[in-house]
Amino acid sequence: MSTFSVIAGREMRLAFRNRSVLITGFIFAVWLPVMSAFGIAAGAGEETVVLAGSIAAIILPVGVFMGYVFCADAFLREKRDGTIETLLCTPVSLRGLWEGKAAGVAVPAYLMTLVSAAVTAATVSALTDAPVIAEPLLLFHLAAVVPVWVAASAGLIGAAQLALGMRENQILGFVFIFGFIFLIIALQEVAPGGPGLSVMTEAVLVAAGLALVALARFIAGKVTRERVVLTIP
């Protein structure tokens, strides 16, 4: 079994055992979509693709937030309890450690985002009788765009948590979230397809998400063990 699999598997097990994170994620995954579904249903006379686009516009920020929720404790946990010093003595590189931990938290975050998407689509379908979940571009959005952005969110926040101290991370966590949301809105505005679901908009979002993942990996690779030690409280 590879080192990556061991680290990722450990983080997934810890995430699924963390009741506070699961409860927070589940409440947010259900409450916000249900509340938003009533607003989406107000456009019941619109085409199915428009309703699907409204769902997609809600789910992507939810995915980013889920990446933050599940990643919030993954990297800081070792700093708080001191086990990060033991990990630094292993032959695993910091980039390898980051890759395994980021992947480990991205999986449960993505699964919780799919729960949110299912709840939203089911509510909208029940209120409008529109088969929104069968919209091909919405399915592509959930299968390609959302997981990339979840990974980007978890990856960038994880890289920051490796490099920065406890106080800086508490402040920058929400800065990252709002920055992601504003970036999503800006990309949708400048994309050739415009806001909503379109092939060009989805392509732009996928490309931007992959670029953010690459940026996170680059940052994680530049963090040194000495830097991490200096951020341990």
122-173: per-residue pLDDT in tens?
877 777 776 777 778 888 989 999 999 999 998 888 888 877 766 666 677 6
pLDDT for the residue 174: 72
pLDDT for the residue 110: 94
The structural domain count of the chain equals 1
Q: What is the spatial distance between Cα 21 and Cα 40, in angstroms, rounded to a whole number?
A: 28
Buried-exposed string 203-220: b where 16+ CB fall within 10 A, e elsewhere:
ebbbebbeebbeebbebb
Q: Is the pLDDT of residue 232 over 80?
A: no
Residue 159 in contact with residue 73, Cβ under 8 Å?
no
What is the maximum alpha-carbon separation in the chain? 61
Mean pLDDT of 13-35: 80
Polymer length in residues for the chain: 233
Pull the structure tokens for residue 233.
Answer: 């409280």
Spatial neighbors of 162 by CB under 8 A, at least 6 apart, are 75, 94, 98, 220, 223, 228
Structural domain containing residue 101: 3-230
pLDDT for the residue 43: 58
Q: What is the spatial distance between Cα 163 and Cα 178, in angstroms, rounded to a whole number?
A: 20
